Each structure stands twice: as structure tokens, then as C-alpha cells.
Chains A and B, each alone.
Chain A
Amino acid sequence: MNVLQINGLTKSYGKIRAVNGLTMSLESGQVMGLLGPNGSGKTTTLGIILGILHSDSGSYEWFGGQYGQAEARRHIGAILETPNFYPYLDADDNLDIYRRIKELPKQNFDQILDRVGLLERRKSKFHTYSLGMKQRLAVAATLIGDPDVLIFDEPTNGLDPNGIADMRNIIQGIANEGKTVLMASHILDEVEKICSHVTILQKGHLLASGPVGHILTDNRFVIVDSEDNHKLKRVFSSVAGVVNISDKDNMLALEVEASIGATRVNQIASEAGIWLCHLEERKNTLEDEFLEITHKHTNNQ
């Protein structure tokens, strides 16, 4: 089922085009990472589909248009940028305000607060919380009414290592329940670990979108080093199955097809009379892919 459909969304701030003709969709059950560097238009996109910002053109539709816009948002749990609560109220009172907005019957929040580890501090005022606790309360607020769709915007921003690990575990747990999740992040590792799908944005443009496995190609990298890398480069540039050769930290990164492994690379080098002092095989990470995609895009412009 189509949960969210975005068509040609555009939004400018003065001369800067934050979102540029963005078209994408979110299907039920997907855990979608919205990936891009700072300023790529992730938060602006989320702001528009959550009713906070007005787009210049384009449209979006939640749940196939079966609800009004505000009503649709009541079926979603969302955090945008910072955790926003009434500083003079405690966790229970704050959650109760958002429960009222969602027009849900009175309930106790034991389970939700337990899940994010705030049960003991539920009666403390929000302004006394650490950033990690504030962020966890924000996640708790998204869980009110057990919505099927959740939106997180840079959920680990500003947290310490423990906080980051806690937050990832919580979101991972939510994703594992089969909920539909849209998570904006500039941290590749986070998206790679949590998401099933990824949409890559840069300067408001969509660069790539699809399952994480598809965005990650089957090609691998073999990193090599020798005393004569010029010669090494010449040798490998004529080998079939070597897709690309690039410099990496004074070494060479050979992008190779699945048919070529480290053993074959070593063999080719020794046959050419070059002795390798470094040989490392690794899978293409999302980070490599991301840089490659953004690099290609910049070159095409």
C-alpha cells in the first residue's frame, strides 16, 4: 500500500532552492532512509509533508488521500529537528497534550515511557532533562496511539555515544515491528544499519532511490599499494573486470566485478613483476556509493 506519494515538490528560500522537483514514494512496511549532506533539503521535505512549511509547487498525499491533511498527521508519529515540548510540564503532562491533539482516549504512558527508559523521570519537568532524555521523550511522543507510520529527523544529532546507541536500538526495534519508517539522516552508517530502502538527496534533487541492497552495487573494492603505483595503475587499467581505479590515501582503490577477487589481483601484480605491500578487499559501502553518486551528479551538471 502506498503510504506517501510526493510529486514534483519544490521549495525555495529566497534564491536558494531547498527542494527541487522532488518525486518519491513510501510504501507500507518500508524503512526508508532519507540521506543527504546538511542542507540537502531533508528537513524541508519533512517540514512540508508534515504541514509545517508551505511548498512553492508540487503536491503530496498521505494514505492515498483517505484522510484530510491534519487527520492524516494524527496517524503518524513524527519528530522534526529538535524535541519540542512544554518546558514547565513533566513527561506525562507533555505526552497527554499530544494525546489530546491526536483525539485519543485518556491512557497511561507506562509502556511508552518504559520503552524509551524514562519511567523513573516521568514526573520531572522537561527543562530538567538532558538532550538524550529530551530526544527519548520525543520518540515516546511518536509512539502515542501506536501509529503505523513514524518519521524521525536526524534522531541521533547531538547525542553522546551511549545516547546514539540507545536511540538506534529504539528505532531498530520500531522498524523490526513492521512499521513504516521515514528517517532523515546525514549519517550513512545509521541508514545502512537501520533502513531497508534509501533515497539520496543533494541540493534538493533526488539522486537515487531504492532498496539499500540495490543502491549498493555488487562491485567490490580491492585496495592495493606497492612501490610503483604508476606502473600498477597501468597494469590494471587494461584488465577486464576492473571497472574503475582511483587514488585512495596514497594507495589505489580498484573497483572490481564479482569475478575478480584479492587472489586474482595479487596474481596479476606478481605476473607484472610488482610486489604488493598492501592488499585489502572490501565491499562497497553506502559511503562510497554516496560519494560516487553525488560526484557523478556534480560532474553531469
Chain B
Amino acid sequence: MIRLIQLEWEKFKKNNVFRTMVIAYIFLLPALIFSMESILDFIDFPLKSKSVFFEFPLIWKFMAYSGSWQAFFFFGFLGVYMVTSEFQNRTLRQNILTGLNRSAFFGGKLLFATLLSALSTLYFVVITLVLGYLKSKNVEFESATQGVTSLSFRYFLMTFSYLNFGMFLGYILRKNGLALLLYFTYIIFLEKIIRWWLQSKVLGVEDKYNLYYPMNVINDLTPLPLKEMMKQVTSFPAQYHLLEPNLAVALALLWNVLFLVIAYTRFKKMDL
């Protein structure tokens, strides 16, 4: 297992795309929070309190939501790239004919994605703790970290899901440009078109089922803390459609397994 992770690390540690994506995540995760703070100051929204977003416990959910955007962008990109670059450089072929079997190749990528997700989660926890302590006053460690274990797990699952979805498209499409295009198009437009137009308007399926789509499920693992935000807003009604956290976790696991099974089955059968 460690051998396969090391192999992936050797392949990508000097790769500029990999380095850029990781550095961007490391830098932007804390930086975005500061910019949001400035935006809230600037737009003069009718809020009872602005600082509450940057204090414990709300900062956890706020950072997790901010992190989900970056995972969507950087780790999804990386997931696609980690697979398609091996197809396009034909190094996948050379890996196999040098003596790696297909399961080991697939497993190596999966383990590496898992490790990346775990490390990005660890970074998220550390940076949020630091920022939270800087912004909050007189906080006990216990109350500062309440509910963090389950949120961290959801954060990990969210990061892994974007990586996994990217890799899934990589295995299916093989071409970098095509897979990236579909990755971003599907998440930004396509799923929403299917959910809100095709399902309810064309097929006439009830709206309550439109929460179960894969990217919506992943999104609901670490959603914008609307409920908590609404309490800070003076005049907005509290209306939102979110999956219960545990249901989101269960569905996300299911989708991930499905993507893995399809990608693996196809990868085992394909001519390289």
C-alpha cells in the first residue's frame, strides 16, 4: 500500500500542475475568509453581527463551505489531471508493461486521493482553529471544537468526492480537455439543468427527489450555514433545501462507490 502511494508521490511531486493546485489550496483557504470579511463590511448587509461568522463555532461551517469551493476547483482539477495525464503521456501504458497490474495502478491513485483528502482536512482543521482563536474571545478548547469530528469527516468526504469524480471522468474520457470541460460543465450547469428543468418540468418528477443528485449531495456535506446565517439577518424568511448531514454522508458514500465501480470496471476492460 505504502509502495503505491510512494509511486504516485514520485510521479507528481515535481509536477507543476500538482504543485500549483496544492499551493493554491494552502494559500486560498485562509485568504478567502479574510476577503469575505471585507466584502461583508463593504456591502453593508442588514446583519445583527458580522463578526459571528469568524468566531467559534460558526467559523467551522463557514470555512468548510469556503473549502468546498476550493476542493471543487483545485482537487477536482487535480483528480482529472492525475488520470488523464497518464493516458495522454502514455505513461499508463509504460506503467503496465513495466509490471504494474491494473488494480495496483487504480488502487495507487485511489490511495493517493484518500491521502490528499486526509491532509487537506487536517490543514482545514488546523487553519480554522488558528483563525478561530485569533478572532474569538475567551474560548475554551472544548466549546471551540464541538462537533468538529463529524464536520471534519464530512469535509474529508467532500474533498475525496471531488477528487474521485474528477478521476472517474478521467478514466471514462481519457482526454484532459474533454474531461475537465465535462467536470466543470456538469457541476456548474448540467446537473442543475437536469435537476430543476428536466426532472420537474419535463419528466414531472416531484421536487423533493432533486436533492439526491451527486454534486448536490457533495455540496450538502459542507453547505453554507444558511440556518445560522438567517438568525443574523434581520428580515429574511428562513427557507432552504438541504439534506440532513447523515443522509448526505450516506448518499455521498453511495455515489462514490458507484463512480469507483464504474471507473474500475471500465478501466479493467479497456485497451490502453
- Interfacial residues, chain A to chain B (CB-CB below 8 A): 47, 50-54, 68-71, 73-74, 76, 78, 80, 82, 84-89, 93, 96-98, 100-103, 141
Nearest residue in B to A78 (C-beta to C-beta)? B97
A51 to B6 alpha-carbon distance, docked (Å): 23
State whether A84 touches B272 (Cβ < 8 A). Answer: no
Q: Which residues of B contact A47 (CB under 8 A)?
A: 271
> Which of B10, B14, B93 is the one whose CB lies under 8 Å from A52?
B93
**A-B contacts, CB under 8 A, total:** 76
Q: Does B11 contact A (CB under 8 A)?
A: yes
Q: Give the segment of B52-60, B63-71, B99-107 that binds chain A.
A: B99-107
Chain B nearest CB from A12 CB (Å) reads 11
State whether B94 touches A84 (Cβ < 8 A). Answer: yes
Q: Does B24 contact A (CB under 8 A)?
A: no
> Which of A70, A80, A88 is the one whose CB lies under 8 Å from B101?
A70
A101 to B11 alpha-carbon distance, docked (Å): 12
State whether A85 touches B94 (Cβ < 8 A). Answer: yes
Nearest residue in A to B99 (C-beta to C-beta)? A74
A39 to B89 alpha-carbon distance, docked (Å): 23
Q: A50-B97, A96-B10, A101-B7 are in contact. Are A85 and B269 (CB under 8 A)?
A: no
| Interface residues of B, dominant DSSP | helix
Q: A93-B10, A100-B7 are in contact. Are A54 and B99 (CB under 8 A)?
A: no
A87 to B95 alpha-carbon distance, docked (Å): 14
State whether B89 touches A100 (Cβ < 8 A). Answer: no
Q: Does B150 contact A (CB under 8 A)?
A: no
Chain A nearest CB from B50 CB (Å) reads 45
Chain B nearest CB from A187 CB (Å) reads 23
Chain A nearest CB from B98 CB (Å) reads 5
Q: A86-B11, A101-B7 are in contact. Are A51 and B16 (CB under 8 A)?
A: no
State whether A70 touches B99 (Cβ < 8 A). Answer: yes
Q: Does B38 contact A (CB under 8 A)?
A: no
State whether B96 touches A89 (Cβ < 8 A). Answer: no
A98 to B99 alpha-carbon distance, docked (Å): 9
State whether A100 touches B272 (Cβ < 8 A). Answer: no
State whether B97 touches A100 (Cβ < 8 A). Answer: no
> Which of A80, A86, A96, A102 is the one whose CB lies under 8 Å from B99?
A102
Q: A86-B91, A96-B10, A100-B3 are in contact. Are A54 and B96 (CB under 8 A)?
A: no
State whether A84 touches B93 (Cβ < 8 A). Answer: yes
> Which of B15, B16, B89, B102 is the one whose CB lies under 8 Å from A85?
B89
State whether A88 touches B97 (Cβ < 8 A). Answer: no
Residues of chain B from 1 to 44 with CB closer than 8 A to chain A in the complex: 3, 6-7, 10-11, 14-16
Which 6 A-B pairs have CB atoms at the shortest separation, nearest pair first? A74-B99, A70-B101, A84-B90, A84-B94, A50-B97, A73-B99
Q: Mark B113-146, 1 if CB is under 8 A from A, else 0.
A: 0000000000000000000000000000000000
Known contacts A52-B96, A54-B271, A80-B97; 13 additional CB pairs below 8 A are A47-B271, A51-B96, A54-B269, A69-B101, A80-B94, A84-B90, A86-B89, A87-B89, A88-B16, A101-B7, A101-B95, A101-B99, A102-B99
Residues of chain B from 156 to 199 with CB closer than 8 A to chain A in the complex: none
Q: A54-B269, A88-B16 are in contact. Are A73 and B89 (CB under 8 A)?
A: no
Q: A54-B269, A88-B16 are in contact. Are A101 and B91 (CB under 8 A)?
A: no
Q: Which residues of A contact B14 (CB under 8 A)?
A: 88-89, 93
Q: Which residues of A contact B11 (CB under 8 A)?
A: 86, 97
State whether A82 touches B90 (Cβ < 8 A). Answer: yes
A-B contacts, 10 of them at CB < 8 A, read A51-B101, A51-B102, A52-B97, A52-B271, A73-B98, A89-B14, A96-B10, A97-B10, A100-B3, A100-B7
